[in-house]
Amino acid sequence: MKIQGKQYHTIWLKEGDSSVVEVIDQRKLPFQFKVFQMKTVEDTFFAIKEMVVRGAPLIGVTAAYGMYLALLDLGDGDRESVLKEKAEYLKSSRPTAVNLAFAVDEMLVFILNEIASGNLIERTLEKAHQLKAEEIESGSRIGEFGLKIIEEIYKKKGETVNILTHCNAGWLACIDWGTATAPIYKAHLKGIPVHVWVDETRPRNQGARLTAYELGEEGVPHTVIPDNTGGHLMQHGMVDLVIVGSDRTSITGDVANKIGTYLKALAANDNNVPFYVALPSSTFDWDIEDGVKQIPIEQRDPTEVSEIEGWAEDGIQSVHLIPEKSKVANYGFDVTPARLVTGLITERGVCEADKQSILKLFPEKEFE
């Protein structure tokens, strides 16, 4: 996808130096385009924790490259236990998006299996590239399946399809295409008129800052709205469809996503607006049956709520928002129960949000 007319992925190797991994610094968008470099596993931990990179699929792929950087740094001694330690360290950077553990475990198993064979570094790098390529392919396929849903609505309605989304489940949260935005981009490219209601997504404003930015770069009509506006729009027939992403989805179809998603699902349910969740299979947690009780919810720094960041003449600045003595709660995610989800759009197709339908698409998971 594009930034200032130039094609980008969100993560790549530095040109001419395969020991440096580069990412777009998402803390600076939409005000500044800056590249952040990772040379060590500690840099990778920092990038994930401080949200230089964010969004479940990108967190996973970044961690995969982090394991490659850990391998580059490995001295003599007990290599296996150091690698296991680095893997746990990376996994502790953020708790909710399961893509992180998925990618780290996949890399660790690969490295430990191959540790005695030749070309380990090159092959580990290939493995990280492969996980990246799979996420791009998943995004594209999610886009094709989701496109059919948008097309159906357009056929019935005959005019612009209004889609509401929350947070940033766009290409910036992935590698390319995005999850929730992939069907939107595919529809837009096909000439289907779409318009996106973009929830601003306090406290970090991933909607206002990132989703609006990338939709703008791709020329997709959109309107940024305060987080509390969706219910009103739905009551007045101004939303045809909600599509959001996910950070972790239980095997029973409960969906953890950015805080506030649950309230959108309730409003959609009350107004008969279809509520879809787009996710690659790396976002399923096959071990969790009850998302509300079992998915760990990240609590972040209170200053994300008590302050707000924006652009001032001399750069990005924060200003204080609330009385100094007031307490703050900052839960990063909530869980939307499966009963409020119309369907899950995956790289293998669309299914209902229940265990039977999910396992029909992913039969190999039944016996793992």
| Residues found near ligand MRU in the complex (CB under 6 A) | 54-57, 97, 167, 169, 173-174, 178-179, 206, 245-247, 257-258, 332
Choose between 247 and 285: whose C-beta lies nearer to ligand MRU: 247
DSSP codes of every residue in 19-56: EEEEEE-TTTTTT---EEEE-SHHHHHHHHHTTSS-SH
* Minimum gap (Å) between residue 243 Cβ and ligand MRU: 10
> Closer CB to ligand MRU, residue 124 or residue 179?
179
CA-derived radius of gyration, the chain: 20
Is 55 a known ligand-binding residue?
yes
We find the least distance from the C-beta atom of residue 324 to ligand MRU, in angstroms, to be 26
Q: 19 or 31: whose CB is closer to ligand MRU?
A: 31
Active site residues: 247
Length reported for the chain = 368
Tokens of 121: 């570094």
Nearer to ligand MRU, 97 or 161 (CB): 97
What is residue 311's three-state secondary structure? Answer: strand
Would you say 156 is a known binding-site residue?
A: no
The CB-of-54 to ligand MRU minimum distance in angstroms stands at 3
> Could you tell me which of 284, 337, 277 has the C-alpha nearest to residue 142?
277
Q: DSSP states of 227-244 as a string?
A: GGGHHHHHHTT--SEEEE
Q: Do the annotations mark residue 248 as ligand-binding?
A: no
- Tell me if 113 is assigned to a ligand binding site: no
- Min dist. Cβ of residue 320 to ligand MRU (A): 22
Residue 310 annotated as part of some ligand binding site:
no
Scanning 40-162, the segments in alpha helix (DSSP H) are 41-49, 56-72, 79-91, 99-114, 120-157
Residue 87 C-beta: closest distance to ligand MRU, Å: 20
209 is in an annotated binding site: no
Nearest residue to the partner ligand MRU, using Cβ: 245
Amino acid letter at 179? T
Residue 10 exposure: Cα atoms within 13 Å on the Cβ side: 32
DSSP assigned state of 225:
E
Residues 235-269 as b or e (16 or more Cβ within 10 Å = b)? eeeebbbbbbbbbbbbbbbbbbbbbbbbbbbebbb
Nearer to ligand MRU, 110 or 197 (CB): 197
Residues annotated within a binding site:
54-56, 94, 206, 257-258
Residues annotated within a binding site for substrate:
54-56, 94, 206, 257-258
